[in-house]
Amino acid sequence: MVAAHAAHSQSSAEWIACLDKRPLERSSEDVDIIFTRLKGVKAFEKFHPNLLRQICLCGYYENLEKGITLFRQGDIGTNWYAVLAGSLDVKVSETSSHQDAVTICTLGIGTAFGESILDNTPRHATIVTRESSELLRIEQEDFKALWEKYRQYMAGLLAPPYGVMETGSNNDRIPDKENVSSHSFCLASVNCPKVKHKHSDLLSKGSSPSAVNRAINIILV
């Protein structure tokens, strides 16, 4: 049991060490190690292998303590993220002071968010680590390059306006805007509080998970 744990820890340290290298310094072996790790992560389970390999070349590993603000409502985004471990709270505010911010949901393992960097849309929510969390980060320039090269693979993973909306089948579900899988969101706060936000009419106590997902997708854009 101890030996198995040690082997797992060594494996984790190995792929993290590969991601810590500058992209131009990563060897094909480094990419293979990162690829093997990421293909088992929920956030990337639907990504085409060619796209995932490119992510292995340009992604960065982030290990954040509890209470770290990733970005604030109103910021212009510069990175796209995927949650590898831990969780993050999504907070929205009716003022620019952020002191009245209300947590509307929690993003769990497998969640990906930040596609708004494709068109420099200001963040509509503040993201704060709920606990120690591990993220994969892709810088805006690299994410845009991936979008231009692999749009045919990525469009089916993103919700409108970047992706393709599903029709009324499957409970009228649409692909999650800030997510690569419709089941990736960890909706810890499905009973959402009343929030004075331009899309707060979409968030009401007792809303169905699909309705909450749609509202959160809009807010996170």
The per-residue pLDDT for 183 is 34
Tell me the pLDDT band of 220, cut-offs 50, 70 and 90: low
In the beta sheet, which residues pair with residue 81?
A: 113, 137
- What pLDDT score was predicted for residue 197? 47
Lowest mean pLDDT among 106-120, 141-155, 185-199: 185-199
pLDDT score, position 110: 87
Q: How many domains does the chain have?
A: 1
- Among 64, 44, 39, which residue's Cα sits nearest to residue 179? 44
User: pTM score, two decimals?
Assistant: 0.71
DSSP-assigned letter for residue 75: P
Do 143 and 80 meet the contact criterion of CB atoms below 8 Å apart? yes
- Give the mean model confidence (pLDDT) for residues 189-198: 40
Structural domain containing residue 9? 2-220
Position 172 scores a pLDDT of: 32
Q: Write phi, then psi, for 92 (nearest 5 degrees).
A: -125, 150
3-state secondary structure of 104: strand
Helices (H), the chain: 2-20, 28-38, 49-58, 140-154, 169-172, 209-220
For residue 109, what pLDDT band results from cuts at 50, 70 and 90?
Answer: very high
Average pLDDT over residues 107-117: 89
What's residue 178's pLDDT? 38
Q: How many CA atoms lie within 13 A of 174 on its CB side?
A: 20
Instruction: State residue 193's pLDDT score.
Output: 41
On average, the pLDDT of the chain sits at: 75
Residue by residue, what is the 3-state secondary structure of 55-67?
Answer: HHHHCEEEEECCC
CA-to-CA dists, residue 182 to 98, 157, 174, 192, angstroms: 29, 9, 8, 19
- What confidence score (pLDDT) does residue 149 get? 92
**Which of 102-106, 127-131, 167-171 is predicted with the least confidence, judged by mean pLDDT?**
167-171
Q: Which tens digit of pLDDT belongs to each residue from 32-76?
A: 999 999 998 888 888 899 999 999 999 999 999 999 999 999 999
How high is the pLDDT of residue 158?
65
pLDDT digits (tens, 9 = 90+) for 158-170: 655 554 433 333 3
Residue count (the chain): 221
> The CATH number of the domain where 117 resides is what?
2.60.120.10
The tokens for 124 are 């509509």
pLDDT exceeds 80 at position 5: no
Q: What percent of the chain has pLDDT over 70?
A: 64
Contacts of 127 (CB under 8 A, 6+ apart): 69, 70, 71, 88, 89, 90, 91, 107, 113
